[in-house]
Every structure is written in C-alpha cells, then in structure tokens.
Amino acid sequence: MNLLRPKRPRLKLDTEAYKRLHTQVLDRDGWRCQDCGSSNNLQVHHQRARSKLGHDDMQNLITLCVGCHELRHRWNT
C-alpha cells in the first residue's frame, strides 16, 4: 500500500519568461524591499524555495534588498 502522494509538478519558467516575471514582481512591490523599504540592490526572492517545490509565480515571489534577502536565507536554514 503506497501512502505517498504523487508530487505536483512545479511551475519553472524558462529564462526569458522568468526575466519578465522578475520585472513584474519588482513593479508590483514598487521597486522597494518588502522588509526594510530600501530601493537599493534589489533581488527577487522565492518565499517557498524552488528546492522545496516553490513555483515561479507572482504569489511565491517577493522583492528584497541584498541584506534582507541574505537574512531570509539564514532564517530558513
């Protein structure tokens, strides 16, 4: 008897589509870090990591500055 659920395929975009989504996330977030409000050195962060079946979609992405992005990764290890 197999009690494991089948894995859901995750949404992973090709490079060009991801670049467009990246810009849409920055636009949605007002080109500001969503943790500290900085507008410098912005990156887009997967709230649920790709390695944990996190999707490349607007609901899973957030704009963070480099410092806050690093802190988020430290908290999740």
The reply to whether 32 falls in a domain is yes
The reply to whether 10 falls in a domain is no
Q: List pLDDT tens digits, range 30-67.
A: 999 999 999 999 999 999 988 887 888 999 999 999 99
In whole angstroms, give the CA distance from residue 44 to residue 33.
9
Predicted local confidence at residue 67, as pLDDT = 97
The reply to whether 4 falls in a domain is no
The boundaries of the domain holding residue 32 are 15-75
The reply to whether 7 falls in a domain is no
pTM > 0.85: no
The count of structural domains within the chain is 1
The reply to whether 3 falls in a domain is no
Predicted local confidence at residue 52, as pLDDT = 83
In whole angstroms, give the CA distance from residue 22 to residue 74.
22
Of 10, 52, 41, 19, the residue nearest 63 (C-alpha): 41
The reply to whether 6 falls in a domain is no
pLDDT above 60 (res 1): no
Whole-number percent of the chain with pLDDT over 70:
83
Token output for 54: 């996190």
The reply to whether 2 falls in a domain is no
